Chain A
Amino acid sequence: MAARGNVIFDNERCKGCELCTTVCPVGIIEMSSRLNSRGYHFSQVKEGMMEKCIACGFCGMTCPDFVIKVERL
């Protein structure tokens, strides 16, 4: 059985660069339609898609702003 993961975003740190969306192998990260307090669209997991996360950690490794924490369940 494939690993399951949980991704936690610190939305206020996000600058909306979208790099995390380009490295997710299961394509579950999207940019929000809302803005954070600094005016950036922040990254988030698509609604109901967290169970597809394989806990690879790529999004965290590629984020230049330390927004993302990845856990393996």
Chain B
Amino acid sequence: MAKVIYEKPKGITDAITHYCPGCTHGIIHGLVAESLEELGVLGESIGVAPVGCAVLAYNYFNCDMQEAAHGRAPAVATGIKRVLPDRTVFTYQGDGDLAAIGTAEIVHAAARGENITVIFVNNAIYGMTGGQMAPTTLLGQVTTTTPYGRKPEANGFPIRICEMLSTLEGAAYVARVSVHDINNIRKAKKAIKEAFQTQIDRKGFSIVEVLSTCPTNWGLTPAEAIKWLKNNMIPHYPLATFKSPWGVK
């Protein structure tokens, strides 16, 4: 009798995603879906989709979904969670959505200790709109709006969201993970599960920042993009658990 080692999670619909070939959004979708399923909360979960590449995420997650205005997913999730406190509520946001137009929403949702989970996908660029500089774009990184590379004197410095939010008392679980290899995909799944467990245990706000690739706008093949993430993003965005109800090593 063959034992299934891996298959499409039940929390993912049959729809074929609109993401570019090799975009790691799909891997992260899978980890979120598997985590909800394994924690036994898939049927009672409500996700909030962002504006950006993941704007159509409501077609891909096999649970109740709500679309939010740009950057406002934490505010919409706050409302849903307060009305339906027994549901597992999460937002799925990119760096353009969360770290630029939605900065006020994410900071205050964390400061209030809203009992929601945020999946924050950081690929250091605006994907959907054509590869413009994001607040998370690395110094020297070439984008369509920084054709000679991001320069601090003109474009400022990249924001480390996890470090910033972990200073807030309301943030109970804060971790940064990556999906550039199998080992890190496993670690990312563990962090996402812990973030949802934080919410289920009513410990407060939880966020997992997942470093992700954008082969199309980085101008690389998917395999090259994975290497670029490892060599360039991780030195600036160190992988760590910054806060956890179960303590940080």
Whether both chains belong to one complex is answered with yes
Q: Which of A51-73 contact B (CB under 8 A)?
A: 55-66, 68-73
Whose C-beta in chain B lies nearest to the C-beta of A40? B21
Contact of B27 (CB < 8 Å), options: A55, A59, A62, A73: A62
- Min CB distance, B190 to chain A, in Å? 13
Give the residue among B19, B22, B26, B185 with the most A Cβ atoms within 10 A. B26
A-contacting 9-mer, from B6-14, B67-75, B132-140, B170-178? B6-14
CA distance in complex: A15, B21 (Å): 5
- Pair A64/B6 contact, Cβ less than 8 Å: no
Whose C-beta in chain A lies nearest to the C-beta of B24? A64
Q: Would A69 and B21 be within 8 Å (CB), given that A17-B222, A63-B26, A64-B27 are in contact?
A: no
Q: Which of B5-39 contact A (CB under 8 A)?
A: 5-9, 12, 16-17, 19-27, 30
Residues from chain B with a CB closer than 8 A to the CB of A40 are 21
Contact of B2 with A by CB under 8 A? yes
Contact of B3 with A by CB under 8 A? yes
CA distance in complex: A6, B184 (Å): 24
Residues from chain A with a CB closer than 8 A to the CB of B5 are 5, 55-57, 60, 70-72
Contact of A18 with B by CB under 8 A? yes
- Pair A65/B17 contact, Cβ less than 8 Å: yes
Interface size class of A (residues with CB under 8 A): 20 to 34
- Pair A17/B3 contact, Cβ less than 8 Å: no
- Pair B222/A72 contact, Cβ less than 8 Å: no
- Min CB distance, A61 to chain B, in Å? 6
- Pair A18/B7 contact, Cβ less than 8 Å: no
Contact of A57 (CB < 8 Å), options: B2, B6, B181: B6
Q: Would A23 and B182 be within 8 Å (CB), given that A15-B21, A17-B222, A65-B16 are in contact?
A: yes
Q: Would A16 and B21 be within 8 Å (CB), given that A22-B223, A61-B182, A64-B27 are in contact?
A: yes
Q: Which of A4-58 contact B (CB under 8 A)?
A: 5-6, 12-13, 15-19, 22-23, 40, 55-58
- Min CB distance, B187 to chain A, in Å? 12
Q: Would A66 and B4 be within 8 Å (CB), given that A17-B22, A22-B223, A23-B181 are in contact?
A: no
- Pair B4/A70 contact, Cβ less than 8 Å: yes
- Pair A66/B22 contact, Cβ less than 8 Å: no
Residues from chain A with a CB closer than 8 A to the CB of B186 are 61
Contact of B226 with A by CB under 8 A? yes
CA distance in complex: A48, B5 (Å): 21
Residue numbers of B with Cβ under 8 A of A are: 2-9, 12, 16-17, 19-27, 30, 181-182, 185-186, 215, 221-223, 226
Residue numbers of A with Cβ under 8 A of B are: 5-6, 12-13, 15-19, 22-23, 40, 55-66, 68-73
